[in-house]
Structure 1
Amino acid sequence: MTDQTIARQVDEFNEGFTAQIGPELSAVFDGEQRDLRSAGVPGGVVAVGDAAPDGPLVTPTGETTSLPAVRGDTPTVLVFYRGAWCPYCNITLRTYQQELLPALQERGVQLVAVSPQTPAAAEQSIANGELAFPVLTDPENVLAGRFGIVTEPSAAARAAHTQLGFDVADSNADDTAAVPFPSVFVLDDSGVVRFADVHVDYTTRTEVAEVLAAVDALSVATR
């Protein structure tokens, strides 16, 4: 267990990461994050009160499924993340495994994570965080697109990624660099969105306490 917020863990990671990659690459990523914050959340994002859209999903073993099939009639916390290559995603998913999942299980709510990466890369996410909840592939970002949260790294950021030895497209199921904005949606037992939190700056994430507050509000509303 960790007693630190995701934000605190990110701050600690960034200190070492900045020292490791140097000021030039750090400036590239800082600039990308500023631009993302300036642009803000795009229009058309699924909002509270909307029915959650559907889209094809793939399990780490290659089986095809869908969001309705995964959630059934169980309230669900749906997490969109960029991929196993993203350290901020790994910090978040690990924290959700350690602190959020047990609390959700006590409340009869399930946790599901989705990214555009290949099933093999999804397995890497599971290994990175020792995850015990469904981690699914969203081929071609179909589901993320229907939620209105698809973006991609800037050209400068992708060049910086190349200098660091990887490319987002190599991990994605469709060989593109498209990724979702890191987002959390809380769906009720009918699949209606009751909480939506979209982070355009990928270094920030929805904290465990925020998710649990939304889930507890859902429970009160359905009594």
Structure 2
Amino acid sequence: MATTHHSSLQKELEAVWKHGMEVLPEEVIGAFEQSISQLRDSGSAKGLSVGAAAPDFTLSNQTGSNVSLSAESAKGPVILTFYRGSWCPFCNLELKAYQHILAGIQEVGAQLLAVSPLTPDHSLTLREKHKLEFHVLSDSDNQVAERYQLKFSLPEELREIYRSLGFALEEYNGDDSWELPVPATYIIDKNGIIRFASVNPDYRTRAEPDEVLRFLHSL
């Protein structure tokens, strides 16, 4: 079953973008594509690389309980995935894909942590909507994203577009910074070392969950 999902996730992401191109004004699509290119060309928010020590952190999960990376990695490898928020259709598909392979992740003694700047209330809503059975953590002010070199500020010209689409990040994130993490997925071993890293400023492309699962099996 997981292999089937592997083959379809990127296709699902591409279908979302294709639909957006059909229903959104051309100038909006152009602004999205330009912002992706600018972020990529800037060289900022490149993320930590394989071999780096993963910064430890403690964040609140969807019910307000504290979850620390060091405590989770003591149990086994950790998949740490940074996503933009519940308002992002690409992120929703990615998290659902991880839920599909969660049993396989747990079979090898690994943990899955998903991190975004969403408030705990919004994280809880997201978790319940998709029946997610893993920790959904709230990174207030993107402090952890910054330590993983993923934080960036949404360009001014995109903020009004986001608001017009109902993506009022001030409300979702509980602040007016308009900062987000670049989507990224890491595998961190029991020694706190990054063994796998997928960081892409183009939020339309994500690591395939089955690729992540296969890497886990190779550890």
What TM-score comes out, normalization by structure 1 length?
A: 0.88
Q: Give the secondary-structure state (helix, strand or coil) at the position aligned to 2:204.
A: coil
Q: What CA distance in whole angstroms lies between the structure 1 residues aligned with 2:43 and 2:218?
A: 26
Q: Which runs of 5+ in 2 are unaligned?
A: none
How far does the alpha carbon of each residue in 1:57-86 deviate from its partner, in whole angstroms, 9 at most, with x for none? 012122334322343332111111111011
Q: What CA distance in whole angstroms lies between the structure 2 residues aligned with 1:110 and 1:202?
A: 23
Give the 4+ runs in structure 1 shifted more than 4 A: none
Residues 53 and 192 of structure 2 are in contact (CA less than 8 Å); yes or no, is this contact kept in structure 1? yes
Residues 73 and 190 of structure 1 are in contact (CA less than 8 Å); yes or no, is this contact kept in structure 2? no
Residues 55 and 142 of structure 1 are in contact (CA less than 8 Å); yes or no, is this contact kept in structure 2? no
Q: Give the secondary-structure state (helix, strand or coil) at the position aligned to 1:201.
A: coil
For 1:221, the equivalent position in structure 2 comes to none
Q: Give the secondary-structure state (helix, strand or coil) at the position aligned to 1:142.
A: helix
Residues 169 and 177 of structure 1 are in contact (CA less than 8 Å); yes or no, is this contact kept in structure 2? yes
Select 2:52's aligned residue among 50, 56, 61. 50
For 1:141, the equivalent position in structure 2 comes to 142
Residues 47 and 196 of structure 1 are in contact (CA less than 8 Å); yes or no, is this contact kept in structure 2? yes
How far does the alpha carbon of each residue in 1:79-132 deviate from its partner, in whole angstroms, 9 at most, with x for none? 11111011110010011111x312212212111101111001111221332211
Q: What CA distance in whole angstroms lies between the structure 2 residues aligned with 1:217 and 1:39?
A: 34
Q: Give the secondary-structure state (helix, strand or coil) at the position aligned to 1:52.
A: coil
Residues 73 and 189 of structure 2 are in contact (CA less than 8 Å); yes or no, is this contact kept in structure 1? no
- Matching residue's letter, 2:136: V
For 2:13, the equivalent position in structure 1 comes to 10
Q: What CA distance in whole angstroms lies between the structure 1 residues aligned with 2:67 and 2:131?
A: 22
Q: What CA distance in whole angstroms lies between the structure 1 residues aligned with 2:17 and 2:33?
A: 11
For 1:188, the equivalent position in structure 2 comes to 189
The 3 A distance-change label for structure 1 pair 203 and 117 is same
The RMSD of aligned alpha carbons is 1.9
Q: Which runs of 5+ in 1 are unaligned?
A: 219-223
Question: How many equivalent residue pairs?
Answer: 216
What TM-score comes out, normalization by structure 2 length?
A: 0.90
How far does the alpha carbon of each residue in 1:117-160 deviate from its partner, in whole angstroms, 9 at most, with x for none? 10011112213322111111112211111111111322222121
Identity between Structure 1 and Structure 2 (%): 36
